[in-house]
Structure 1
Amino acid sequence: MSPMPASPGPAAHARTPTPSDLKRWRQYLADERAEAAVYRDLAARRTGEERAILLALAAAEGRHEAHWLGLLGDDVGRVPRGDFRTRTLGFLARRFGSVFVLALAQRAEARSQYATNLDATAAMAADEQIHEEVVRGLATRGRNRMSGTFRAAVFGANDGLVSNLALILGIGASGVGPATVLLTGFAGLLAGALSMAAGEYVSVRSQRELLEASSSNLYAQGAVPYLDVDANELALVYRARGMAEDDAVEHARGVLAGVVEPPSSSPPDEHEAIGTGAGAAASSFCFFASGALIPVLPYLFGLEGLAAVLLASALVGLALLLTGATVGILSGGPPVRRALRQLAIGYGAAAVTYLLGLAFGATVG
Structure 2
Amino acid sequence: MAPTAHADVRRWRRNLADERAEAQVYRELARHRTGEEREILLALADAEGRHAAHWEELLGDRVGEPVRPSWQFRVLARMARWFGSVFVLALAQRAEARASADVDADATATMAADERIHEEVVRGLAARGRTRLSGTFRAAVFGANDGLVSNLALVIGVVAARVDTRTVLLTGLAGLLAGALSMGAGEFISVRSQRELLAASALGTGAEHALPHLGQANELALVYRARGMSAQDAEARAEEVLADIAELGQASTAFRGDHPAEEHAAVGTDIGASLSSFTFFASGAAIPVLPWAFGMSGTAALLLAVGAVGVALLLVGAVVGLISGGPPVRRAVRQLAIGIGAAAVTYGLGAAFGASGG
Could you say which TM-score interval applies, normalised by the shorter chain?
over 0.9
Amino acid at match of 2:9: L
Cα shift readout 1:273-327 (whole Å, capped 9, x = no counterpart):
1110111000000000000000000000111111110000000001001100000
1:323 pairs with one of 306, 316, 326: 316
Cα shift readout 1:166-215 (whole Å, capped 9, x = no counterpart):
00000111011000000000000000000001111111111111111111
SS of the aligned residue for 1:16 comes to: coil
In structure 1, how many angstroms separate the alpha carbons of the residues matched to 2:156 and 2:105? 58
1:317–1:343: 8 Å Cα contact kept in structure 2? yes
- Structure 1 residue 235: Cα displacement: 1.9
Aligned to 2:163: 176
Q: Which runs of 5+ in 2 are unaligned?
A: none
Q: Spell out the pairing of 1:203-282 with structure 2 (5 A cutoff).
A: 203-229=190-216, 232-258=218-244, 261=252, 263-264=255-256, 266-267=258-259, 268-282=261-275
> Which deviates the most, 327-336 or 248-257?
248-257
- Structure 1 residue 246: Cα displacement: 4.3
Distance change (3 Å), C-alpha of 1:291 and 1:22: same
Cα shift readout 1:235-293 (whole Å, capped 9, x = no counterpart):
21122123343443343233222288462163111111111011100000000000000
Amino acid at match of 2:310: G
Amino acid at match of 1:243: M
RMSD: 1.5
Aligned to 1:8: none
Q: Spell out the pairing of 1:47-66 with structure 2 (5 A cutoff).
A: 47-66=34-53
In structure 2, how many angstroms separate the alpha carbons of the residues matched to 1:328 and 1:215? 33
TM-score by structure 1 length? Answer: 0.93
Amino acid at match of 1:323: V
Amino acid at match of 1:110: A
In structure 2, how many angstroms separate the alpha carbons of the residues matched to 1:192 and 1:114? 44
1:115–1:125: 8 Å Cα contact kept in structure 2? no
- 1:71 corresponds to 2:58: yes
Over the matched positions of the two proteins, sequence identity in percent amounts to 66
Q: What is the total number of aligned residue pairs between the two structures?
A: 351
> Which deviates the most, 101-110 or 264-273?
264-273
Amino acid at match of 1:112: A
In structure 2, how many angstroms separate the alpha carbons of the residues matched to 1:98 and 1:361? 49
- Structure 1 residue 116: Cα displacement: 4.8
- 1:200 corresponds to 2:187: yes
Distance change (3 Å), C-alpha of 1:125 and 1:237: same
- Structure 1 residue 115: Cα displacement: 5.9
Cα shift readout 1:41-70 (whole Å, capped 9, x = no counterpart):
111111111111111000000000000000
Amino acid at match of 1:216: L
1:93 pairs with one of 80, 91, 112: 80
Q: Spell out the pairing of 1:1-365 with structure 2 (5 A cutoff).
A: 14-112=1-99, 116-229=103-216, 232-258=218-244, 261=252, 263-264=255-256, 266-267=258-259, 268-365=261-358
SS of the aligned residue for 2:255 comes to: coil
SS of the aligned residue for 1:326 comes to: helix
In structure 2, how many angstroms separate the alpha carbons of the residues matched to 1:141 and 1:271? 13
1:202–1:277: 8 Å Cα contact kept in structure 2? yes
TM-score by structure 2 length? Answer: 0.95
1:25–1:72: 8 Å Cα contact kept in structure 2? yes
